[in-house]
Structure 1
């Protein structure tokens, strides 16, 4: 795999995607493009804008859509302001998130495209997108339009029961985001993390049985059709086991290299 431009990593929530993402970043000198980070970025931009009004004023219920962006900018007083488009995107995402509603594909697609454009549409390990068939169609059309390629999809496979057992033991450092597991990778009692602060270890609020079952169900009903569509379009797929007999950084790298036909780290490329 020479001249790798973009790779997508897919799999169930808790399947073990992040260690594979980390390897692909190191191996191909890419950057992670995560929908979670994208949403946090645009939600944060609008929060910093500190708008105190009712966001419903920007939504046309009859049309079931937002009023034109120019009208939103005019009401916000940001026409001609640098980053105005991003503030509008943040407003739209905030509108749904504040109501606890599912963010429609058209909004998620717009957020993703804006973030992907900032990378010149290349050099990404894409994580968390696409999650629906419509998003998958959008991604391939976007890449075709911009003249870039999707080199591969790494599909991390794992059983529901194993995912539930592992995820319930997952912990995260609030300071630097480093992941631990109470059984397989316990957090040390005293350590300095990448942020040079003492780790503040917590369990993610959505790492509970009810949320896990919901996410696994959504994978079957929403994300499987996206996977099927990408396969139908001829996208190279590489299924990789998320559960390894002996888990280690080296074992993760070896499993990815094996399925993708890559030389092991430190060896010449095949």
Structure 2
């Protein structure tokens, strides 16, 4: 049976970096809610049309619609190992996912929690700078831009915005940690380590 893995963790913990490596080296497919919403809207599917109405009205797409889109995508990828990134975000979404997976012949294998302190996240994200010409990402401390490159800070990377994003994460997503811990599926990786060390921890778990 194809593997289904969830990546949980705050913004800036390195989930995207590690997911990309599993895609490149182990043939996984990374699925994020944002990607499947955009894809369904672009294709103009029935579910996509419904999602578009909510998005254009600036409203959150309801859980049942997101679950339906997720099911559609997972059916399409029935024989592929997948990483769910940024989904589920809440316990009701997790419960719906638990009901849906067996219906399409999948199990949830592991939930990997990227653990990183708020201070470290703020340091990582608020130090990010982008070259608007090329889209290349730098960091004022870990990977400074060359002197002749003019860089900007994205709105999302300002400290007050990061703090708000972390508040949302802690209030919505933290209950998932207990939910999956009770199921015995939660594995914690120390996201403050080097990318290679984090990757090796993930590989040893899955």
Q: Which residue of 1 aligns with 2:161?
A: 211
Q: 1:153 aligns with which of 100, 111, 128?
A: 111
* Local SS of the residue matching 1:135: helix
Q: Distance in 1 between matches of 2:187 and 2:130?
A: 28
Q: Which residue of 1 aligns with 2:68?
A: 110
Give the Å deviation of 1:19: 2.0
Structure 2 residue 179 is the aligned partner of structure 1 residue 221: no
* Local SS of the residue matching 2:156: coil
Give the Å deviation of 1:155: 0.8
Q: Distance in 1 between matches of 2:200 and 2:25?
A: 10
Calculate the TM-score normalised by the size of structure 1: 0.65
Deviates more, 1:140-149 or 1:164-173: 164-173
Deviations 1:67-108 (A, max 9, x none): xxxxxxxxxxxxxxxxxxx2x322222222223222221222
Q: Which residue of 2 aligns with 1:21?
A: 19
Q: Which residue of 1 aligns with 2:87?
A: 129
Give the Å deviation of 1:9: 1.0
- Unaligned 5+ segments in structure 2 are none
Residues 176, 148 of structure 1: alpha-carbon distance in 2 compared, 3 angstrom cutoff: farther
Give the Å deviation of 1:120: 1.6
Q: Distance in 2 between matches of 1:218 and 1:260?
A: 29
Check whether the contact 1:171–1:204 (CA below 8 A) recurs between aligned residues. yes
**By percentage of residues, which structure has more helix?**
2
The alignment's C-alpha RMSD in Å is: 3.0
Give the Å deviation of 1:260: 5.4
* Local SS of the residue matching 2:107: coil
Deviates more, 1:92-101 or 1:159-168: 92-101
Calculate the TM-score normalised by the size of structure 2: 0.82
Check whether the contact 1:33–1:125 (CA below 8 A) recurs between aligned residues. yes
- Unaligned 5+ segments in structure 1 are 47-85, 191-198, 245-250, 263-270
Q: Distance in 1 between matches of 2:180 and 2:89?
A: 11
Deviations 1:135-183 (A, max 9, x none): 1112222221122222211111111122122112224577987644232
Residues 146, 4 of structure 1: alpha-carbon distance in 2 compared, 3 angstrom cutoff: closer
Q: Distance in 2 between matches of 1:44 and 1:201?
A: 31
Pairs aligned (count): 205
Check whether the contact 1:4–1:151 (CA below 8 A) recurs between aligned residues. no
Check whether the contact 1:172–1:203 (CA below 8 A) recurs between aligned residues. yes
Residues 42, 174 of structure 1: alpha-carbon distance in 2 compared, 3 angstrom cutoff: farther
Q: Which residue of 2 aligns with 1:193?
A: none
Please identify the structure whose Cα radius of gyration is greater: 1
Check whether the contact 1:4–1:28 (CA below 8 A) recurs between aligned residues. no
